[in-house]
Amino acid sequence: MARSVAVDAGASAVTGSIHSPRSVLVTGGAGFIGANFVAHLIATDPAVRVTTLDALTYAGSLDNLSSLDGNPRHRFVTGDITDAALVRALLDEDAIDTVVHFAAESHVDRSITGPAAFINTNIVGTFTLLEAARSAWCSAPSTRDARFHHVSTDEVFGSLDAADHPFVETTPYSPNSPYSASKAGSDHLVRAYHHTYGLPVTVSNCSNNYGPYQHAEKFIPTVIRSALGDQPIPIYGAGLNVRDWLYVADHCTAIDAVLRRGRTGHTYLIGGRSERRNIDIARQICAMLDELRPRASGVYSDLLTSVTDRLGHDFRYAIDSGLIESELGWKPAESFDTGIRKTVKWYLANPGHLERATKSAVGIAVSD
């Protein structure tokens, strides 16, 4: 039988309320950010039960959730978010009152060579989840509390010049890659379901994440695995492209704050206030490895190698996270210097993660 929530069909006003999640569906929860968020929820809220749905593509792994093996408050389901029957069944069977939607194809280079998968997962998959939530929650008035949180990226806003102000919540969308275009489409769908059907949604757009369990195809793990393998460390062009970096544990606390206290229908930008050039990050990691695990001969920075730049490579992304900081009282706990040191130490202590993930990495990945 369909459950329902207290929403007004056609509502478009931004309204605020305290949300208390009890049964949470996390999509993409075996991936990098999703797995960290699932662990965060289980560790910080003893009243929460989590159902993790993941298709276990190359980017997801049950190893990322191994710390939750045997936990009675966590259930893992292998499946695709485009499977409408499965998604609806999970919402009903587990009495889901909260959806946190991470599942996405996210590698820009892969989107350039094979965009179809990005349209299917990022747009059709998001549509499937929204339809299931609408059917389960919005069929009749009720006092049930519910929330659909959609996790997105700053890449939907396009590229910044060096002197431009960082992105804010009102920055116009201007995606430049098939990946960012697919995420922009999913963002618009989520907002449309709020304005049209009254579905209680929140959206967050984050800057580049880094930290434990990140897939080997991403920039920071690529630098680490290449260095430790004594292989050339690939850097697009001169490495002058700039990204704002956010430690994954800080991203998890930010999403939790938005989920519980964010205004429905609203978007929050989440950044680390840590802009860095790619070449500077690579050099910093090399210097840390020189200290923590010296090369047999020479220094790791000798391995830095310029390669042909990506097609349509955005120059700079940066986020102004002033809204979430002022409205919800969130701030990142880690600076880039502290976060990157924790990250390098984690990969040194967990070499098997890079070894497993490297088998499915696509070519090179020299900038997220």
Six token digits for residue 262: 């964010």
Cα separation, 329 vs 321, whole angstroms: 11
Choose among 188, 55, 190: nearest CA to 133. Answer: 190
Which pLDDT belongs to residue 310? 80
Asked if the structure places residue 356 within a domain, the reply is no
Cα(300)–Cα(289) distance, integer angstroms:
7
- The residues annotated as belonging to the active site are 154-155, 179
- Identify whether 116 is part of a domain: yes
Q: Would residue 132 count as lying in a domain?
A: yes
- Residue 14 has a pLDDT of 41
Q: What pLDDT score does 29 carry?
A: 98
By the 8 A CB rule, do 216 and 354 touch? yes
pLDDT in tens, 6-23: 343 333 334 457 999 999
Domain count, the chain: 1
**Domain hosting residue 29, numbered range:** 21-211+245-274+315-334
Q: What is the pLDDT of residue 25?
A: 99
Residue ranges of the chain with per-residue pLDDT less than 50: 1-15, 143, 363-367
pLDDT reported for residue 311: 77
Classify residue 222: in a domain, yes or no: no
42 located within any domain: yes
pLDDT, residue 5, reads 39
234 in any annotated domain: no
Taking the CA atoms of residue 31, residue 185, residue 368 and residue 276 in that order, the dihedral angle to the nearest 10 degrees is -120
User: Which pLDDT does position 10 carry in this prediction?
Assistant: 36
Is residue 11 in a domain? Answer: no
Residue 81, classed as helix, strand or coil, is coil
The reported pLDDT for the residue numbered 208 is 96
CATH code for the domain of 55: 3.40.50.720
Residue 309 has a pLDDT of 80
pLDDT per position as a tens digit, 155-203: 999 999 999 999 999 999 999 999 999 999 999 999 999 999 999 999 9
Q: Is residue 288 part of a domain?
A: no
- Please report the pLDDT score of residue 357 as a whole number: 64
Q: How far is CA 341 from the centre of its chain?
A: 21
